[in-house]
Structure formats: structure tokens, C-alpha cells
Structure 1
């Protein structure tokens, strides 16, 4: 600015020196001042930056910048005009339609319009759950630009077909180039017939070298033509075009009007080259991840890929002659009719439910599609490999059945335990009035013996459903086997020899020794029954390291250190069709009346509840072996390894004190009341939780509360919490027909004892005495 002012002064001085005219010099100065003022005014009214912004932009460069394979992008200005969009936007929206006026389903247009308003207002807006036909989209709208005068609309697919994505990736990469080098022109078209991706061979023939860049979204139908004789050509090649053969592979699960893979090869090949062209097509089919096979017009197989062979159960290298050879007799006719109809009709497809020979009665779906331009091939068959899916369905159904039976077993056991408690208690009370030699004594003992057998059956039900009460201890397997071996020898008899082997380095396990003995006895009795003519029962223990577990390759047993218990016999063995069912409840191969079908299911329940695993291995005529893996117990700072607790001295069945019994079963409540009154206690009773609280409030002194856990209206734990709010040190003895493990969450109360049903009068009296002693001991420590 200073330089310009200096030049202006020099000009005025030169003008005055030349003319010596003061008026002319003054006029020149005035003109310069006006020019400078006008320039300053123009600069203020029209800044230089606006001129740069007003300059036209290269929208072709912007369109190339927003190109994306997975996100459809469009740009609109404040006037709602389309500025730019990528090819994927045109493919999904059916053209370059200006948002938000897109052909959306349902309320999609309204949601998209709201997202646009939110973007103008807040800078960003989102529209969820919008759809164009089967395509589910999510839209994100952003305000942008130097003057924030533009909206960028981004549409992403919520659910994308993995198969389509994989084909796009392969055709746009080395696989597409390999097919192009082999002379196979491949392209993926959308449901609207627009190009999604294509290899170089297809693009060179369909578009030429000058138009191969911007091809996504273009109509594939206009690139091909058919002459009067039904031959197919590329439209661009004109009259000198070479006819081509077309293979159409629908990618939609149940509709031919979906994404489709096109494969084309030249038609004018000599006889010597037809085998090579067929190899090219087979190479293409082998790249696809689903089962495909080609059939000629006479219904004979020409080719099937490996996925089709696996799904149909065909051995490698042994392709059958006809598709009917794969299915059961009843489905041969319908399959042959459908193939014949599609081999001579239009290029459409249909699904047929068939049953494969040798794979059971589970139906599978086979898709039959008529094709043209593949020489001898007239029909394309598609079959899904559903063996893994069927296996998983079978496992889920079996697990659901086992869970339902387990719940039923737990409920039945609970009701039986209440009944058996009353029966056993009544028998004990009657035996107090009868001595050996009385006419009724033997009958009462007989009733009591059968009641105990029924109680054992309910324990088996609870063990099967993994709801029994376990008393785990840290123990060694050889010690358990030593305790039970004498009983096993008596059970085996003289014809069966018992052999025991113990391995070295066995780790300790955490399990209930009584239940573990029950497992060994059940397996031993089953082995004895399988060796009617005599044999050898072998029991082995040995350590199994984590590395050995990995070598086993089990899908269920995690790698860790285990102590194994193996029980083997030399009996008749188990047939292969029976082996998968042996752990199911109530399944037995014994004669009617000789087994409950709960022996092995009880074993399975005990092992699983002990965090172990059990496997059976058998060959007919060579015997059976059951192997149990129990995890090695590792003592930590939080869970120290403890030995089995010492046996407690037997408690007295007599005592004094005030006891409140709360039980909803009348017979159980009556038996418990009579038993405790005879033992010397003062007893009050209540039939439910609310009544129990009333009796508790009325009693001046109370030494113990005996309560059932599950009762109508108010359960036992809720009632006890209300009582302990008034008497924190109140001793409590819970009793229930359900297992303690099943009730732990509801019983979540400190310093309470538990007595499982059914129980005898003596067991009730001992539990009461022990609970009172423990309460007195805690009071003394306090």
C-alpha cells in the first residue's frame, strides 16, 4: 500500500513539472482518490474468498472420491438438489434418485425425511430400519461444506449376504483374474439386473477397454443380445460377435429373482476343445462354497463339486449315474419328473423336498434350475450340506428333552419325599409301641423297608436331574475303591473275578464319597448282568495330563489334569445303535421288572454334578468300559484342601425346649409334632408362613424354628428373615423334599441347618439336637 501511494505522488509531481498547470495536477489527484476509494469499496463488498468459493468444482473428481463398495453415498445441496452420488447408490436405489424421496418400504421415507431435518438442525441425523425391497438399510445424514450448505447421505446395509460378499471379494481379486486367464467371463448382477462386480474378461468383451472404469450399477441385460436362433452374443461386438454360452447361478435361497452369478464361455470351440471348456466350468463350480451338480437332458450326472458330494453322502470318486440313485425309492419318481420338466422348459428353478438314501428320514431341500448354453448340461442341481445342522438340532432336542425330564423328576421326587416322610415317621412311631414278636411288628418293618426302597428311588431321580444334595470332600480314588471293593465282591458272586489296578501320581479329587461309591456299584452291577456266564471286572485308576486330554480331541472336556477311573468288563458288549442312548433316563435293555432304567442316568448325573466327564466304549462280544474323568483338586489360598471331616458323635434323641414347626403338609407336620413331643420338647405348629409369624409373636420363648422351604403364599426363608429381624440369634432348621443345592439361592441365610426329606424320627431328633447345640456354641463364642 505504501508503494502504491509513493508511485501516485511521483506521478503527480511529474505531471506538474511537465505542464506547470496547478488545476490539472489537482484534478489528477482527485481522480486517483476516487479510484482508490472505489477499489476499497469493491473489496469490502466482494471478498476474494467468495470468488474462490464461487468457482466451479470438479464434480467428476468428487464422484470418484465417494466411490465405495459397501456404503451408498449421495450429496445434496440446501435447495434439495442432487449434487453427486456413487454407483452403489444408483444400484440400491434403482437410479440416481434425490434423497429423501427414495422408494423406501413402509415409514422409511418419513424416517429418512426426519433424519434430514435433524441433520440441518443438529449437524447429524440417523434413520434406522429402513428398507428397499429385501435390502435392510441404515442411513446416516451429516451437514458439511465450508458454509454448511450440503448434506451427505450415507446408506449402509444392515444384513449383507456373506455369499455375495465373498463372491465380490474373489471376482475382484486373484480368483477373478484366474478365471479370466482361463477364458471364463464372470459377473455378479443384482436382483435388478445391474452389475455388482465383474472380472476383466467380462468387462473387456461387454464394455471395451475405454469404458471399464465406471461399470458398477450398469444394466447387464443391455450388454447381451439373442439372435433368431437363440444364440447369445455381446451387444458391443456387433455382427462379427462370437456366440457365448451362459451359466446362471441364483444366489437367493428361495427365489430366482435375486442376486445371480453369470459365467460365460465362447461357443465356437472345436470338438477337441470342448473337454477343456467343460473343465473351466467345473473349475468355476468348485470355487463356490455350496453344493452344485450338472445334469444332462437325459437326467445323467455330468459333474458334481465336493460340497454337493458331502451333502449327498457320496464317496470321493464314486459319482452315481443318476440323481435318483441318491434318494430313497419313494422320491426317485418326483425328482426325475422335476429334472425332466426343467431340462426342456424355461430357465426357472424350483425346490423339492427329498430324503437321501442312507441318511435317515430327515428331509433336505434340493433346488433344480434349468440352464442353457452349457452344451450337454441342461439342469443345475443345488444341495445344502445340512449334516452339521441336523446334528446340532438333534443335540438341542436331546438336551431339551433331558432338561424337561429332569424338571419332572425333581418335582416328582419332592412330592414323593413328603409322602415318604409321613410313611417313615408313622412307621417309627408305631414301632415305639410294638416290640419284636408282636403280630404287627413284621408288617410295620415290611412297610418301612419298602418306604426306604422308594426313598432310594427318589434319590436316583434327583441324581439323574443333578439336583441331589452332595457332601463333597477332598479324597483319593484308591481309598474310595478300597471301601467299596468288599461290597462289590459280594455283589459279583463267585463267577466274576474282581481285578483292581492303581496308577502312580494320582491327584486328589473333590467329590462326595458316598455318591462316588454309588457310581462304582451301579457300574459293577451292570457289568455283572452283562457277564451272565462269568468273566472279569477290572477297575483301574490312573492320572491324565492336560496334554493327553488334548490328544483325545474331545469337544466337551477342557484340557486340564484329571484323575481317571475306568471300569471294564468282558461281557457281551453294547450294540452300536444302543450306545448313544445308555445315559437316557428310563432306557434299559433288561427284561420288564428287572431294571428301572435309572442306573446309568444316575451315574451320569453324579459325575456331571461333580464337574467330571464320563465316556462309554464298547464292542459287541468284546466287553464294555466306562471311563470317568474327575478334575484334580488344586488347593488355593481361598479354598484350602481339607480332608474328610471327623465323624460327629451321635446326638441324643431327647431334649427340652420350645419348638415351632411350620409345614404345609398335614401328615409331615403331625408326624414331626408327635415325634418331638415324645422326645421331650414343647411344640407349636403352623400350616403356612403367615400363620408361623403369628405363632412366633404369640410364643413368649422359642428355642428353635423348623420350617419347610417351599410353601404357598410365604415361603420358609421369607418367614425366617422376618423372625430374625426381631430375634437375630434364632436357631433355624430347614427341611425340604428338594435338594439343598437347588434351594441355595432362596435359602441365602446365615447359620441355618438343613434336613433333607424323607427322614426318620431318629434323624429328626438328632438334627434338632445338633442345631440347638450349634446355636448354644455360637452364643458361647459371642
Structure 2
């Protein structure tokens, strides 16, 4: 069908052609009447006809595009929505309903526009919030909605080429559907068949009130099978005698004892509970409806949505439902003979004893943590209860797969251990830095008394070199414990990879192929570029060693890509917070990491390399740098065991304000210059050996040095003496730490310059120390570095 604007343009073009042609005829007649020359008149007529033809041709070749744009064709979207089993609707930015499928019309009795749907009281508010969240984050969902008695879960997703549409999907909520299904089974014919076998069933809400009960229960508990039990307190129908036996309150203490079986078929504190009541004696008359008891019991077991199995008095399986088979990871059509056949050897005896005890009449129930032989590292929960009145079945088994819970506990335990080890590593590194400061300082003082060629000069140089090597190890420990000094910058991750690519090619050798791929529209990250280069180099070297160990070379792939908050939400990672990230993937084709070693690879001093070929600090340093940069790192073996992939997630930096530049350290390199100075310096250090070497170094440079072993002693020295020119202090000290002492000292001398010495990270200390005009000197330091630092601070006054 043609659109109205095209018809209008066609008429306009035809009118213009008629006017042009008519104008040409009129001009020809006028010329012929005035001058009487038919040749000139014919020329005017031909010109008019040519103009008219040209206008028609132009309009046909170039049709006008004015007018309203054509409406989108939603037929494809409607066809796709109709093919979905879910109720689907699409709305635009203005909140208008674009289209919906038949399931949507059936569910909501028409085409109401989301979120204004006929749902429970607070459902509209929750659905509105999900819509706002989907516009913001891309996706959102709402659990446990109730629409006209139907339990639902809603999923909202932003869509469209311009991301100007919302797709609303509604499907049955699993837990509510299951509860509703069980409720319907109890009050329907299935409940009557169970009643004919002497099984009374009740569905109880989390508050202890009855939601539904079958006819036999209503007849026994209320005296009439058509009584209204819904909403009544379940406990009020039962009494307990002195021996702990349960009876109906209506029948009194002379009534038939009952066996009460609680069946938690849904997880959660607010989930309903299915209760089955059986007579302890077999001569209780129940309303007979006909049928075989054993067949009904098996039907009930097969209908249960949780793992359940029946075992006879000899300990053999009679029946297991599909949920039990899935949890046990066995074929339901070819089940094992005994429950012990599912378990590891150590757990078989315990389970067999429990089954034997309950088969012989033990009451109550028990829960056991057992290990399946196919997955011995992931315990599962096995519930065992005695069963009476169920025909040949004597024991009821219920199996719950808690592998996910076990995995989460293992990850939390690993994270806690890593944090504790990090704190220990940081403390060890700090104390070790004090020792190295004293060793390096004494070496420097001895070198001042020796010249190259002396017998002791080379030995002193060797001691000093080994001390510097030990200092690099402490820096790695500080990196792991996230206490090293970082110089973060706002940068693009591909730029860092480009800077280090040439170095990687030399490190990997000719047998390893390096491939680099960058994603589009990557956000900026805030990190220390030098430390990120160290991360890439460490991971690349480990990958090279793994590929060499496999025999020959391989491929090292480095890839960067953006990961949106919506993608993180779909990943379902319990550790990674929902935010926008830039991901760095480093994958190799090496030997992979054994599963039993994978949780330990980031621990300090853990290595699988030969003795002397690794310190075990490479990956722990990587872990510390990534965590201190606010990121996350994960290691996974590739499918098929072909290598390992390390994935680093760094949060996208959002510049809310210009970051305060981090001042460089006082000393960046040693200089062979005249470091002589004058003035009085107050030196505060709790370590005697560090205080002694620092005092000697400063005195040799011409300074007058006052010393104190902690903050309180330093304040006493200040009170007894005149104002010093410089205060040099350790940060962490007993009795009174350095920052507290400096605040009190500046109450008396506000402009007193301060030089802090510490083995911890400067950036961390600056965040915790809110003081102006403060400089830092990292431990361990040499005599010359201390002298340069003191002179630089005094010169900047």
C-alpha cells in the first residue's frame, strides 16, 4: 500500500508538468500573434514541452522523501514473541506497549502495559524498579510475583538498535510453581489416592499454618472431610504424650499414635513444608477409596521435586526418583543395588549402619555428610528416616546436592587464608626491611673506610649486593600483601600491552608465538603502568615455562576486552562485584594447572618448579598488584586441558574529579654529590640498630642529631631542647606512633618539616596520615639515600 506522502508528491509533479506545458503553448500563441513567425513560436512551444518532460523525469527518478518516516515493521518481532513459551511484551522509551504475544494476553487478560499489571500489592512497585534498573544496567529481574493466582518471575532487558526498547518476559517462578503444584496434588485426586493408602498429607506455610490438606487428614483432625483446614494452626491439631508419641488432639491420648515425616522440598526459611502423617499401627480405619498402597507410595515418590529414594529392610534400593538420580549422578533406569554403591569406601559403613538402625524401628531422622565416589571432594547431604506403613519400604532417603555451597565455603576459606597470609607477609617484610636497613647502612659505612683493591672491599660489596637482592624479595612480599608503593595513573590497557610487547617477544623466544588482540571502546583504568607491565611479564614467563615443559613451543594469546555490568551479572560470579570492567586475558597452550594445585597458586613461596628455579613469589606478586589496583584475577584451565587462561578484571575509571597527583619519593636514585649539611635533626626510631646507623650517617654529614626511641620520648626531647630543623621519624612504633607524635609536635612548631621512614607503602600511609608538608623515605635505604633525603627536605623549607 502506498503511503500518503508519495501520492501527494506524484500529483505535485504532474501539476508542475501541466503548468510548464501549458505555459509553453501560451507563449507560442502570443509570439505567433505578435510577430507572425511560426518558427519562433514553435521554438517556444518545444521549450515548454521539454521543461515539462524534464520535471516528470526528475520526479520519477528521484522520488521525494519528505513526510513522516515509515512505521517499523513489527511482524517479525510478533512472530518471535509468539514462538516463545513465556509471556513477552515490548515497550518503548515513552512507556508505550509496542507488541505482546498470545501468552501475555492470556496471562494478564488483555494487553495492559508493564509495569501496570494485575499483580500482587507490591509487585507493581518492584516491577517499576526493575524497569528503571534495566534502562540503567541493561537487565533486571523480579522473583516471586503473583498475577491472578499464577506465580511468576519477571525478566526485563534493554534491546533495540538504539537501545530504546524494553523486553518484558514473564515465566512461572520455580519455587512458587512447585509449591502451587504440591498444593494442588494434595487437595486433588492424588491426595485422595494417598489417603486410601493411609497417608495423610498437609502443606504448611512458614508461619506454621495449613495451606492445604487431603481429605483423610481433615476427617481425622477435624471430624469432617469437607472441613476448612486452610489457615488453621497445624500444631493445634496434635498432642504429645509422656513418651513423646504424637496423636490427634481430637482423638485424645487413647487415639492411634502418629508418625510425622517432614519433607522440605523447597529451600529457604520462607518456603512451605510438606508433612506426611502415618499411623504407627496398621489397624486404623481410614476412608477407603481403593487402590494399592505401594503403587500410591511410589507415585508420590516419583512426583516429589527433591531427591528421594526408598530402601527395604535389607538395605536395597526399591525406588529412586529422577531428582535423586540427578543428585547422585546415576542412571535412574539402571540404579545401583545398595546406597553404599554410590559412596566412597570410608562412608559406606556409616550409611549402612544408619539404614539398618532405622529399618529396625529407630525414630526421628538423621543427616549425614557423605561423599559420592564419582566426586569425592564435594560432600553432599544425605537425610535418613524410618518409614512405616509404606509397604515393603522401610527407610526413606533424601539426597541434597550442596556442591555449590561447598564451593562457596571453599572460596571464602581460601580468601580468608590469603588475607591472613598477606597480613603475615606484610609484617615480615616490614621487620625484615629494618634488618636490611641496618645491614646496608653498615656496609656503606665500611665502604667509606675502604677503597677498591682492599682485601675486604669485594666482600663488603658482595654483602651489600645480597642485601639489595633480599630487599627486592621484601618488595614482592609487600606487593602480595598489597602494601607496596604504587604510582597509579589513568591509562588505556592496550597502551601498556604495546609497551611491553617487544620485551615479551625476546623473553618468549622463537618457539612461542605471541598474538595480541584488543577490544573496541575500552574504558580507562587507574593503575600503575610499571606494575601492570610486571604482571604481564610474570604471567608470560610462567606460560612460556609451561609450554616448554609440554615439549616445544606454543601460542601465548593476550586479549583485552570490555565487560559491562550486565555481562558481569550474567556471569553469576560470587566474587566479582557488578560493575564495568576492562578484562585482560593471557592464555597459553601449555600443560595446564592440576585441579588440586589451582587454589594454591597465588600463595607466597608456593612453586611447582625445581629447587633453585623459582622463589614462589611471581604469582603472589601478580595477585597483590591486581588486588591493590582494585581488580580481580582468576585462573582457569582451558577446555580439554590445553593450557591455562588468566583473566584480570580492572574496574573502569570514572573521573569524578581531577585526581590528586602522587608526589614522587624523596629519593629516586643515588647521586655522587656533596651531601654535607648543617642543622639539628631529631631522629625517632624504635629499632636500635636502625636508629644507630641513621644517627652515624647523619652525624658524618655534619648534622647535630638528637635521638628518641618512641613518640613520647621524642616529645620530651622537644620540650628540653630548642626547635630542631628537621624531624625524621618511623611511622609504626610502640607506645606512640609517628603520626600522633608529629601532630603533637606541630602544635608547638606548626611549620616543622617531617621526613617519615617506613617499610610500608607510601600511598597507603598517605591515606591514613592526614598531615601536610610530609615526605617519605622507603626502607631499606642506604646511607647516601638518607643524607640526600635530609638535604632535600631541608632545602625545600
TM-score between the two structures when normalised by the length of structure 1: 0.65
Question: Which residue in the other structure is 1:529 paired with?
Answer: 545
In structure 2, do the counterparts of structure 1 residues 531 and 346 end up closer, same or farther at CA, with 3 Å as the change threshold? closer
In structure 2, do the counterparts of structure 1 residues 349 and 480 end up closer, same or farther at CA, with 3 Å as the change threshold? closer
Q: Is the 8 A contact 2:433 2:779 kept in 1?
A: yes
Match of 1:199 among 209, 213, 226: 213
Question: Which residue in the other structure is 2:108 paired with?
Answer: none
Match of 1:581 among 589, 600, 603: 600
Match of 1:722 among 733, 744, 751: 744
Q: Residue by residue, what CA displacement relative to the aligned partner does 1:654-684 show, whole Å, maximum 9, x if unpaired?
A: 4333211111112211222222233343322
Question: Which residue in the other structure is 1:605 paired with?
Answer: 624
Match of 2:695 among 673, 676, 694: 673
Greater shift in the superposed pair: 725-734 or 319-328: 319-328
Q: Secondary structure at the match of 1:673?
A: helix
Q: Is the 8 A contact 1:717 1:746 kept in 2?
A: no
Q: Secondary structure at the match of 2:761?
A: coil
In structure 2, do the counterparts of structure 1 residues 274 and 406 end up closer, same or farther at CA, with 3 Å as the change threshold? same
Match of 2:496 among 474, 480, 496: 480
Which consecutive residues of structure 1, in runs of 5 or more, have no partner in the other structure? 1-164, 223-231, 237-243, 777-782
Pairs aligned (count): 583
Greater shift in the superposed pair: 655-664 or 380-389: 380-389
Q: Secondary structure at the match of 1:377?
A: coil
Q: Residue by residue, what CA displacement relative to the aligned partner does 1:72-130 show, whole Å, maximum 9, x if unpaired?
A: xxxxxxxxxxxxxxxxxxxxxxxxxxxxxxxxxxxxxxxxxxxxxxxxxxxxxxxxxxx
Q: Distance in 1 between matches of 2:487 and 2:475?
A: 14
Q: How far off is 1:731 after superposition? A: 0.7
Larger Rg: 1
Q: Distance in 2 between matches of 1:336 and 1:654?
A: 85
Question: Which residue in the other structure is 2:652 paired with?
Answer: 632
Q: Is the 8 A contact 1:655 1:679 kept in 2?
A: yes
Question: Which residue in the other structure is 1:297 paired with?
Answer: 313
Question: Which residue in the other structure is 2:615 paired with?
Answer: 596
Question: Which residue in the other structure is 1:713 paired with?
Answer: 735
Q: How far off is 1:363 after superposition? A: 6.3
In structure 2, do the counterparts of structure 1 residues 705 and 496 end up closer, same or farther at CA, with 3 Å as the change threshold? same
Question: Which residue in the other structure is 2:643 paired with?
Answer: 623
In structure 2, do the counterparts of structure 1 residues 635 and 773 end up closer, same or farther at CA, with 3 Å as the change threshold? farther
Match of 1:751 among 766, 773, 788: 773
Question: Which residue in the other structure is 1:734 paired with?
Answer: 756
Question: Which residue in the other structure is 1:212 paired with?
Answer: 227
Q: How far off is 1:235 after superposition? A: 10
Q: Distance in 2 between matches of 1:330 and 1:484?
A: 53
Q: How far off is 1:761 after superposition? A: 2.5
Question: Which residue in the other structure is 2:534 paired with?
Answer: 518
Q: Residue by residue, what CA displacement relative to the aligned partner does 1:406-436 show, whole Å, maximum 9, x if unpaired?
A: 1211111111000011111222233333343
Q: Secondary structure at the match of 1:700?
A: coil
In structure 2, do the counterparts of structure 1 residues 500 and 380 end up closer, same or farther at CA, with 3 Å as the change threshold? closer
Q: How far off is 1:371 after superposition? A: 2.1
Question: Which residue in the other structure is 1:357 paired with?
Answer: 373
Q: Is the 8 A contact 1:247 1:374 kept in 2?
A: no
Q: How far off is 1:730 after superposition? A: 0.8
Q: Secondary structure at the match of 1:409?
A: helix
| CA RMSD across the alignment | 4.3
Q: Is the 8 A contact 1:733 1:752 kept in 2?
A: yes
Q: Is the 8 A contact 1:187 1:263 kept in 2?
A: no
Q: Distance in 1 between matches of 2:576 and 2:705?
A: 52
Question: Which residue in the other structure is 1:261 paired with?
Answer: 276
Q: Distance in 1 between matches of 2:389 and 2:365?
A: 16
Alignment of 1:26-45 (within 5 A): none
Q: Distance in 2 between matches of 1:649 and 1:203?
A: 85
In structure 2, do the counterparts of structure 1 residues 178 and 606 end up closer, same or farther at CA, with 3 Å as the change threshold? farther
Question: Which residue in the other structure is 1:183 paired with?
Answer: 193
Q: Residue by residue, what CA displacement relative to the aligned partner does 1:380-406 show, whole Å, maximum 9, x if unpaired?
A: 123444333322332232223222211
Q: Secondary structure at the match of 2:340?
A: helix
Q: Distance in 2 between matches of 1:571 and 1:351?
A: 44
Question: Which residue in the other structure is 2:587 paired with?
Answer: 568
Which consecutive residues of structure 2, in runs of 5 or more, have no partner in the other structure? 1-174, 241-246, 266-272, 280-284
